[in-house]
Amino acid sequence: MVLLNICIANLSWVQPFDSERTQTGNFSVYSRKLNVNMMNQIQKYSMVNEEYARLLFIPINENKRQAVILLPQPRFSLDDSTMNCVNVKTPKFTLSSQQNLINALNYFGVTHLFESNNTDFRDIAGPGGFI
């Protein structure tokens, strides 16, 4: 989930989802069903269809990057998986993300942090805590 959040937050779909087609629907998380906003789009996408799952590749940005979504086949779930000893070799990589939290913090009433005359943060940073 972390990887998905980082990638999707900083990238855009080549074919954006039409917000007017967004509808609420059930999303299963373990044995719970959550009512969430579901994006909806009919396009031609690359897909690998296997016995246990389908891999859907959705283009992001214009430089051939793809978001990969794992879709379990309806008759299988995470409960059908087994633990195995796997020798994983992958290139080393670092995940990083930058988020502008000003709007989110303002929404929750945290506004004084961004006032130009308020640079004293000693209460949270100790003596000399200025930004």
- The tally of domains found in the chain comes to 1
Could you tell me which residues are beta bridge partners of residue 60? 13, 65
Are the C-beta atoms of residues 68 and 57 closer than 8 Å to each other?
A: yes
Tell me, what CATH number does 23's domain have?
A: 2.30.39.10
**Position 121 in a domain:** no
Cα dihedral 100, 102, 103, 109 sign = positive
Residue 57 backbone phi and psi in degrees, to 5: -110, 115
31-45 tens-digit pLDDT: 788 888 888 899 999
**47-77: pLDDT as tens digits:** 999 888 889 988 887 677 888 888 888 888 7
Q: Residue 62: inside a domain, yes or no? A: yes
Confidence (pTM): 0.52
Establish if 69 belongs to a structural domain. yes
Q: Phi first, then psi: what are they for 110, rounded to 5°? A: -90, 90
Sign of the alpha-carbon dihedral angle for 4, 103, 100, 15: positive
Domain that holds residue 51: 19-90
Residue at 6: amino acid letter: I
